Chain A
Amino acid sequence: MSPSSPVIRVADARIRHDGNARFTPDGVSFDVRPGEVVLLLGPSGSGKSTLALALDGLIPHAVPAVIDGTVLVDGVSTTDTTVARLSETVSMVFQDPDAQIVTGTLLDEVCFGPENLSLPVEDVLARAETALRQVGLWERRSENPDRLSGGGRQRLAIACALALRSPVIVLDEPTANLDPVGTEEVYAVLGELVRGGDHALVLIEHDLDAAMKIVDRVVVIDRMGRLAFDGPAAEVLREHVDELLALGVWLPSATLAGLRLRSAGFAVPSLPLTPPELTAALDALPARPSPVEAPVRTPHAAALVEPAIRVTGLRVSRGRTEILHGIDLAIAPGSFVAVVGTNGAGKTTLLQSVAGVVAPPRGTVEVLGLDPARADVRALARTIGFVFQNPEHQFIRSTVTDELAHALELQRVAPAEIADRVDRMLARFGLTEHRDAHPFLLSGGQKRRLSVGTALIAGAPVLALDEPTFGQDRERAAELLDILTTLNREGTTVVVVTHDLQLVADHASHIVVLDEGRVTASGTTAEVLAGDALERAGLLAPPLVRAFRAAADPAWYAVTRLADLAPAPAPDRSDGGAP
């Protein structure tokens, strides 16, 4: 970057939300120069999002918080001006695309910002057209934003930021609510912006595989909210990789794969940061005497045992449209099944029918010999537990203890036994000290653990989860997956609907691919990932799979997850570092 003066200068910033005891961030300084892409990294709770809100003055103007130190935007302290004035220099793109839409058409939406700045109508329209064309949505300008896909709505949010013509755009987890295809769309647009060179981006992102392609600089904040590193992306990630892992910062999967390769004895001189760099590193390896050990995954003796879940000819309609067109499926007990597919493929409908959340036609579903269409709530709760996408939706009692006891009370279990089982469940999910709290007052991760606990406590040997990692940060997602993997090892059959395909590759034993209401592939994870079923269903294989498949030596093609590159460097689990 040229030595031009910074657009944003953060000097020793400390921020404390009203009601919090601690300052996070706690003394962070960095600059953002014109045209630069800065990635903010840090474990959850380090104050990244708080910092993002301070960059355009929402803290302290709109969010009640105390701010020490200075945030200078174009040389002016954010506390001395207004959010409206600052929005001409710094615009924001938030995580939830739905919560950023305020009008009824794409065009109105993009015009909203310039209109607020009281620009003449011609300027408003000119800006809106340029911005919508930049994100490829001009042709759809008269449509209702609700009709766009998640990726489309997030591109719209970027267009709204562009229409403000601000030299800096701050993006706070812009792809956390998107499927991989939507993420690709967003990064294609951001990549174009970066090539244009007119915009500096400040990015908070957990999907580093997508982000690393455009990032120039990395600013790392530690768990206490203090500045840990600030420097060029490649330098920080390659030279401080061990410290970053210890901090609990997520790294690109290509980098983690490079680490695994090193610890498996391969010579990887320079750690790869992106999937193409990983492929290049693989190709540069000298001929290996023994290729990577072929992933040996114990094939489940599915053919021999009675399946835990059997679905035969399941057809489900909502209103006049048929969503599932005759699903046949058998899920072996003890397997960890991921149901994947694009939005609208019928994943959630299938899961809801299996779990009896929406009664399927009689005789089409059998869960451990039980037909959810005929079963009452009690029998259902003993057989299959369902975890909703948003844990808050399923809480019905006013303390954590009551919430867990509810299912047992329905089963008319003796009070002494209820108390005992609730205590054990509280201990197992680390909720003992919150036993008298209201479920809504728990933290996000605690809520999620409680919802899994309530689904399990009646003794259901099958657990169904709808998008359990949707909209969560990486650390919480990893925590939940550890729980699920442990449960699965202990014999629970786990069925998840998800769009996180790396999660699928890392944890699932089987994959079911749904496309437009039909099962297009079903088999072990290795089988399905080795074929082209994901691509045919409009999905993208996880970045690691793509990187290994692009290698010159076919011996690498079988690698689909980090665990295949054993032995692992055994990162400290308690830090929530590497998967």
Chain B
Amino acid sequence: MTRATLPPHRLARDPYSDAPDHGPIRFLHRLNPLAKIAGPLPAMALLIFSSAPGIPLALIALALALLLVGAHLSGRALLGLFVLLPLATVVLSLSLGLWTDASRVDDTPVLLQIGDYRLYAGALLVGATTALRLAGILTLSLVAGLTSTGPDLVRALVQQLHVPYRVGYTALAAYRFVPRFGHELDVIRQAHRVRGMTAGRGPIAALRRGLGTVVPLLAGGIRHAERVALAMDSRAFGASPTRTERHLVPFRARDWVFMIAFWLITALIVVVAILL
């Protein structure tokens, strides 16, 4: 494989293709990425502190409903959201429940007793709440994550939040390194295996192998980064405080509506949870 060509599987998903438009129903794709982050942000903060399962459940339902209606989801995303996520939540609830300090919940009914060990309903509830809080934060972040592209997020950060464009576009350029490094790592591993670096089993040998690939990867990476930097400099990158932006990612009325509506619904959920 010459270095000039990346294998096809590295090209399968093109992270740079234009943000796809899936029609007015799939409205999440048409929103500014910042609105999709700012909207759920208070809800995510809330989840860090909530201690009952009601609020996480309500927020998860909200996020899933939004994604189901407003996002064009691939088969893999659907599988992840509706099969793997619930499954992981259940597993996490059980395992966290088993770890919960029993003395804090020994006034709740005993669900299971093996010898001296008692599993209280309260322990399971604590575990489930924690698992749901984590699941909630993840689902809320996917509202933006599954419906925005990296370049659009960078553009929005530069255009609306006035993040210096030098930072934003350098990060985007660095994003191109990822598949390249992946390919390079494959080759380095092959080379090391064929030279007999596989010697030894166990964590120490694995660590040595891992460290062995770091040096060539870093050496190649730094050299590549220097070259990219020179190429960017020679094309007037950083010439002036602003640069022309052809792709505008505006913050429209609908972005305000989405963001404020999300905040209001979050507040409503809190109020209902307190009243109940």
Contacts and interface: CB of A to CB of B under 8 A. Distances in A.
5 contacts: A94-B230, A116-B240, A142-B18, A343-B5, A393-B187
Interface in B145-180: 151, 169, 172-173, 176, 179-180
Contacts of A407: 195-196
B235 A467 contact: no
Interface in A499-535: 499
Contacts of A119: 244
A144 B194 contact: no
B231 interface: yes
Interface of A: 53, 56, 58, 61-63, 82-85, 87-88, 91-92, 94, 96-105, 108, 111-121, 124-125, 142, 144, 146-147, 149-150, 153, 160, 164, 177-178, 318-319, 321, 343-344, 348-349, 352, 355-358, 377-378, 380-381, 386, 388-390, 392-396, 406-407, 410, 440, 454, 467, 470-471, 499
A113 B194 contact: no
B239 A390 contact: no
Interface string B6-40: 11111100111110000000000000000000000
A102 B232 contact: yes
Contacts of A92: 230-231, 234
- Between A84, A94, A142, A344, the greatest number of chain B beta carbons within 10 A of the residue's beta carbon is seen for A84
B195 A454 contact: yes
Interface of B: 1-11, 14-18, 151, 169, 172-173, 176, 179-180, 184, 187-188, 190-199, 212, 215-216, 219-220, 224, 227-240, 242-246
B244 A124 contact: yes
Contacts, number: 189
A83 B233 contact: yes
Given A100-B231, A177-B4, A144 B17 contact: yes
Nearest to A403: B195
A139 to B, nearest CB: 17
A296 to B, nearest CB: 35
Given A101-B176, A389-B2, A56 B196 contact: no
A115 B243 contact: yes
A94 B231 contact: yes
B216 A393 contact: yes
A56 B232 CA distance: 13
B246 A115 contact: yes
Contacts of A98: 3-4, 180, 224
Nearest to A56: B234
A358 B8 CA distance: 18
Contacts of A61: 233
A281 B18 CA distance: 55
B166 to A, nearest CB: 10
B5 A150 contact: yes
Given A116-B235, A321-B8, A94 B216 contact: no
B228 A99 contact: yes
B266 to A, nearest CB: 34
A88 B224 CA distance: 25
